Structure 1
Amino acid sequence: MVAALYLAEKYTERESSYPHYITVLNLTDIEFPITFKNISKFERLNMVSINVYGIENKQVLSLWLTDDKKEKHINLLYLQDSHNDNLGHFACIKNLSRLMSSQITRKKNKNFLRSKINDCANRLPSKNDKWLEFGNHCNKERVPFIVYADLECILRKTESEDNALSYVYQRHEALSTGYYVRCAYDDTLSSNSVDEGCIRWFAQQLNDLAHRVKNIISANVPMETLSKQQWEAYCSATRCHICEKPFAPDDTRVRDHCHLTGRYRGPAHSNCNLNYKNSFYIPIVFHNLSSYDAHFIIKEIATAYEGHVV
């Protein structure tokens, strides 16, 4: 402990290079030889935090991890006495990375271990909650509207300046833009268009589309009247059609329907039905956007109208 807290500049192997432990450590009510049960008390008395590691089958294992890592932190290695099973020795670990590197990688490069290993806790799932499951059930529905678009360009020759040693002899110029709006539930609301007005025209088209779609999605179409077969299926249903889990005796069961068409979709838990919402975003699938087309259109789209591009 003293060697870790008071580093010696030279002769680190000599006891005389360090202050005597009685003069620098508070050992009130500490029993000797010190055991693991005394570590917490030692930490509080000396305002330090301690991690203890051991070696088993040539693997470094954690034997004690502090609950409150402090500015003064020490890593110790606990070694069992080869002649006495009831006796062990603590040694200061100067470089934990070097000690553990052989079991992490065969390379001789330096390994950086997490310095805040004690600031987190392992929380294991219980027997009743041990499976990962899909929770964003609203993503099971198709988005009401989606746009597929593409941009075509040409190479326009440029004139060189007088006495110029080098110049840009060609520049890319947007020529035309085409897009297709697909409605998932009504083909009459789908459309496509191509125009040579290009970027400004395309930005205005998206603006107009956003306003049209907002008016359509904001409408709440009442649920259609259920047929006899639908009523019978609803009353006899044992599972929610959204989360696909069974209904419990005390669950509130509701009739889920599409607010855009009024179509009955199936029986559902009340909470599932409330969270099963339509998307208010219009995805735009743009061919080769990130590699080329983006610099032609992003500035115009981002500044042409209110709202934001995700």
Structure 2
Amino acid sequence: MHDFCSFEKKRTHIKIPTKIFNRKVTVDHDVEDCYSFKYALLGGLLPKEEEIRSREKDFDNMNWDLLDFPVDFCLLSRFEEFNSIFVNVFGLNEKDEVVILKATSNSRYIKHVDLLFMTNNVCASRYYTITDLSKLLHPQITKDRTRPFFLCKACLTHFSSQEKFEVHHSLCSLYPPTRVELPSIENNILKFENFRHQQMIPYVIYADFECLLEKVDTCDLDPSSSYTNQIQVHTPFSFAYYIVGPDKDSCKFVTYMGKKGEDVVQIFLDFLGQEALLIEEKYKSISKIDRSSQEDRNRFNNAESCHQCGKVFSDSSDKCWDHDHMSQKGNLRFVLCKKCNFKYCKSDFIPIFLHNFTNYDCQLIAGNLGYTENKTHVIPLSEEKYISVIKNINSSIQLRFVDSYKFLAASLAELVGNLSLDQFHHLKENFPSVDLELLRRKQVFCYDYLDTYDKLKETSLPAKKDFFNRLHNKDISDEDYSFVQMVWEKFQIKSLAEFSSFYLKTDVLLLADCFQNFRSLCFSIYQLDPAWYFTIPGLAFDAMLYFTNIRLELLIDYDQVLFFEQAIIGGVSQCCLRYCEANNKYMGRHFNSSLPSSFISYLDCNGLYSWSMSLHLPTSNFKWLDKDELQYFNCKENILNIDEKFNKEKGFFFEITIDYPDHLHDSHQDLPFLPISQIPPNAKQRKLLLTLNRKEKYICHYKTLQTAIANGLVLVQVHRGISFTQSDWLKKFVDYNTIIGPRKLSSVDNTSISKPTIIDRGPNHLT
């Protein structure tokens, strides 16, 4: 049931807050609420109130059939496009500050209107005309009322001159409307601060489901058109989880076999909720500090700086005795400052790892997460797939479901094959008297055969043909079937239900051993526990910050952000001919001895990303070039001699116009310099294009420009530029992961550590 509100012939007085009303930039039109959008829109096109009634005929010049009244501002895009107008809608937050509710990207239209949307608590809403958006937002954005104020409606960034605004608008208009929040000048340093990630999370859970693949009856489909044919429904009938604690006694394995009609997923979540409360109690029983050791006391008293951040202790009150809260011993672990000691605290969540959670298990549990009072958060990959699901148990503990595949990008069988027998600690603990060679192999299961609860009661191993895998469209081998028969007999399995439980248990334990080994390796190499992270890129980024001890200055000028974003085009990684014919003595009868001997060579360059990331990269001091500097760099010799002049300590990005002389076209046609991102003729999507045309206002790194000039391209003008301090700060980290890392992390997608660090903020994302 829903409350019904009639909007017909209803005029509601919604009071505009005094501080907004006093700016005298909003107009309320005396019409019913449901028509307020029409009159507010017309009021924006015809600013004078007295003209609106006399020119109501102008309503007829617009197509209103695309709207339902009262108007939902989220559904205006077709109306805007059809009527060649763009409409921005603003609202007020709880502090009566103006916020964007709807911004349009159709800035190519000349007609535009800004509206204020207000609601009250009695199911009423109303639109008001905003006559001067700059005047409305000026007091909110800056307290300086004396300086000129030019506002960009796409990002709400303001400028003190028309010239600066126009330069900004030329780049900002290339992107969808986005409200950008940049760091303040006091908080614009990126450095390693996740000190708590340098302690192992005490409790981690590994889990898995088994499902019945119930058949679905479908009708005949039309073969003349494309279709999706649903053939199975995956219904969970059992689960298992394994808790890994700080010691052997705290480890625990739980398995559950459901009955027909039970909500197995909800039972799984209930079980985990109880486990979380038990673990929370253990977290609360913190071991006391033990100061009995003279060696520890001397170490504490003699410490002059914080173990983590290096801050020199000003007095003894800033010095903290850090110890392991989960161990029975309270011995000194580190001497920390108060700030680092606060950060170096226990986790407030329990990570639950499921292999391929994003693509499979999250589909099973997502429907059951909203049926409790406690909040659920998701980190989405798409509308249906989640990187992580976070379930609050209470105010102090959470369950965090994470995909182990996001760290170990291989099948469980491949991961198991990378471990030696002595690394299967948890498997051996749960099967102490069994040959590990028999268990370490990924078991084989009859997924498609098991489609009803009744089949779980069967007491004999299904035939080989029943192990047909419909997903991969293949049977198992004779060797695999012989292995299954041996397992069935060796473990004296009595039914398919027992076989399923055995399969599930070994899978969970194998995953636990693989991931626990990965945690230990990462901790020994990078001093970080992967269980704190959602994916391996997050782990890699923190590892980089910690390993290099770098302090990177973040951009606080949005125009600089736009400038660098415009420089991100992509690169062509190959140079190939459409047709090439060799002629040499190894070609037999096709060899023509009267022609010169020739060969076709295939050349490949490895480590392009890691090589480029080992060069000098920006670190700080991002500054626009002034007029004198621009004049200096309008000489190509000065461009070519940048490294010699600044000793590689200073780098540049330039916005240039550059010519591509005709005499270079033939020799450069296989791989032209300076690619561009454009929509080709008769196409709809942007492509990376290699052209021999003149480039206008092209933004590139100075090394790219040097290479182009050295190969004959002619610099016409440098329009703008940004200078920065640079160094090869990332080189030692890349070298370590290229040369040393793979030897230790053989089971890990180690390339993730050395991949590019550009993140696409995408349309309509808060950056």
Which category of TM-score, normalised to the shorter sequence, fits these structures? 0.5 to 0.7
Structure 1 residue ranges without an equivalent (≥5)? 1-46, 50-65, 79-92, 105-109
CA distance in 1, matches of 2:364, 2:272: 15
CA distance in 2, matches of 1:242, 1:203: 38
Instruction: Give 1:66-85 correspondences, 5 Å limit.
Output: 67-69=148-150
> Counterpart in 1 of 2:253?
192
In structure 2, what residue type is equivalent to 1:299? G
Residues 72-99 of structure 1: CA deviation (Å, up to 9, x unaligned): 9997669xxxxxxxxxxxxxx9x8689x
> Counterpart in 1 of 2:374?
307
**Aligned-pair CA distance for 1:257:** 1.9
Identity %: 22
**Aligned-pair CA distance for 1:240:** 1.6
**Aligned-pair CA distance for 1:133:** 2.2
Query: Is 2:335 the counterpart of 1:267?
Result: yes
> Counterpart in 1 of 2:307?
241
> Counterpart in 1 of 2:102?
none
**Aligned-pair CA distance for 1:249:** 4.7
Pick one of 169, 174, 197 that aligns with 1:111: 174
Residues 106-126 of structure 1: CA deviation (Å, up to 9, x unaligned): xxxx73598999xx999667x
CA distance in 1, matches of 2:297, 2:239: 49
Residues 194-231 of structure 1: CA deviation (Å, up to 9, x unaligned): 32224233222202101101211122321123412212
In structure 2, what residue type is equivalent to 1:300? N
> Counterpart in 1 of 2:557?
none
**Aligned-pair CA distance for 1:241:** 2.3
* DSSP-derived class of the 2:350 partner: coil
In structure 2, what residue type is equivalent to 1:171? V
> Counterpart in 2 of 1:291?
359
Pick one of 209, 212, 226 that aligns with 2:275: 209
How many residue pairs end up in the alignment?
215
Q: What is the TM-score when the length of structure 1 is the normalising length?
A: 0.55
**Aligned-pair CA distance for 1:168:** 5.0
Question: Is the CA contact 2:206–2:243 (under 8 Å) kept in the aligned structure 1?
Answer: yes
CA distance in 2, matches of 1:308, 1:300: 12
Could you say if the C-alpha distance between residues 243 and 190 of structure 1 is closer, same or farther in structure 2, counting changes exceeding 3 Å?
Answer: farther
Instruction: Give 1:172-191 correspondences, 5 Å limit.
Output: 172-183=234-245, 185-191=246-252
Could you say if the C-alpha distance between residues 230 and 137 of structure 1 is closer, same or farther in structure 2, counting changes exceeding 3 Å?
Answer: same
> Counterpart in 2 of 1:14?
none
CA distance in 2, matches of 1:75, 1:115: 21
In structure 1, what residue type is equivalent to 2:367? K
* DSSP-derived class of the 1:277 partner: coil
Question: Is the CA contact 1:177–1:196 (under 8 Å) kept in the aligned structure 2?
Answer: yes
CA distance in 1, matches of 2:191, 2:374: 34
Question: Is the CA contact 1:137–1:243 (under 8 Å) kept in the aligned structure 2?
Answer: no
In structure 2, what residue type is equivalent to 1:179? Y
Question: Is the CA contact 1:179–1:192 (under 8 Å) kept in the aligned structure 2?
Answer: yes
CA distance in 2, matches of 1:116, 1:180: 44
* DSSP-derived class of the 2:342 partner: helix
Pick one of 340, 343, 346 that aligns with 1:278: 346
* DSSP-derived class of the 1:156 partner: strand
> Counterpart in 2 of 1:145?
203
Question: Is the CA contact 2:150–2:160 (under 8 Å) kept in the aligned structure 1?
Answer: no
> Counterpart in 1 of 2:213?
155
In structure 1, what residue type is equivalent to 2:290? E
* DSSP-derived class of the 1:212 partner: helix
> Counterpart in 1 of 2:652?
none
Could you say if the C-alpha distance between residues 225 and 277 of structure 1 is closer, same or farther in structure 2, counting changes exceeding 3 Å?
Answer: same
> Counterpart in 2 of 1:82?
none
> Counterpart in 1 of 2:432?
none
In structure 1, what residue type is equivalent to 2:355? H
Question: Is the CA contact 2:311–2:337 (under 8 Å) kept in the aligned structure 1?
Answer: no
Residues 151-183 of structure 1: CA deviation (Å, up to 9, x unaligned): 2324222456xxx54685432222432222122
Could you say if the C-alpha distance between residues 121 and 219 of structure 1 is closer, same or farther in structure 2, counting changes exceeding 3 Å?
Answer: closer
Question: Is the CA contact 1:97–1:111 (under 8 Å) kept in the aligned structure 2?
Answer: no
Could you say if the C-alpha distance between residues 123 and 223 of structure 1 is closer, same or farther in structure 2, counting changes exceeding 3 Å?
Answer: closer
> Counterpart in 1 of 2:597?
none
* DSSP-derived class of the 2:326 partner: coil
Question: Is the CA contact 1:151–1:174 (under 8 Å) kept in the aligned structure 2?
Answer: yes
Higher strand share: 1
* DSSP-derived class of the 2:276 partner: helix
CA distance in 1, matches of 2:216, 2:179: 59
Structure 2 residue ranges without an equivalent (≥5)? 1-131, 135-146, 154-158, 222-228, 259-263, 377-389, 391-767
**Aligned-pair CA distance for 1:137:** 2.3
**Aligned-pair CA distance for 1:71:** 9.2
* DSSP-derived class of the 1:282 partner: strand
Pick one of 186, 192, 197 that aligns with 1:134: 192
**Aligned-pair CA distance for 1:282:** 1.0
CA distance in 1, matches of 2:362, 2:375: 16
**Aligned-pair CA distance for 1:307:** 3.0
Question: Is the CA contact 2:306–2:336 (under 8 Å) kept in the aligned structure 1?
Answer: yes
In structure 1, what residue type is equivalent to 2:208? D
Could you say if the C-alpha distance between residues 222 and 67 of structure 1 is closer, same or farther in structure 2, counting changes exceeding 3 Å?
Answer: farther
> Counterpart in 2 of 1:8?
none
CA distance in 2, matches of 1:187, 1:235: 35
> Counterpart in 2 of 1:26?
none
CA distance in 1, matches of 2:160, 2:294: 74
CA distance in 2, matches of 1:150, 1:138: 28
Could you say if the C-alpha distance between residues 177 and 131 of structure 1 is closer, same or farther in structure 2, counting changes exceeding 3 Å?
Answer: same
Greater Cα radius of gyration, structure 1 or 2: 1
Question: Is the CA contact 2:204–2:243 (under 8 Å) kept in the aligned structure 1?
Answer: yes
CA distance in 2, matches of 1:208, 1:113: 46
Question: Is the CA contact 1:238–1:247 (under 8 Å) kept in the aligned structure 2?
Answer: yes
Residues 25-52 of structure 1: CA deviation (Å, up to 9, x unaligned): xxxxxxxxxxxxxxxxxxxxxx9x9xxx
Question: Is the CA contact 2:149–2:160 (under 8 Å) kept in the aligned structure 1?
Answer: no
Question: Is the CA contact 1:178–1:192 (under 8 Å) kept in the aligned structure 2?
Answer: yes
* DSSP-derived class of the 1:283 partner: strand
* DSSP-derived class of the 1:178 partner: strand
Question: Is the CA contact 2:149–2:161 (under 8 Å) kept in the aligned structure 1?
Answer: no
Could you say if the C-alpha distance between residues 138 and 74 of structure 1 is closer, same or farther in structure 2, counting changes exceeding 3 Å?
Answer: closer
Q: What is the TM-score when the length of structure 2 is the normalising length?
A: 0.24
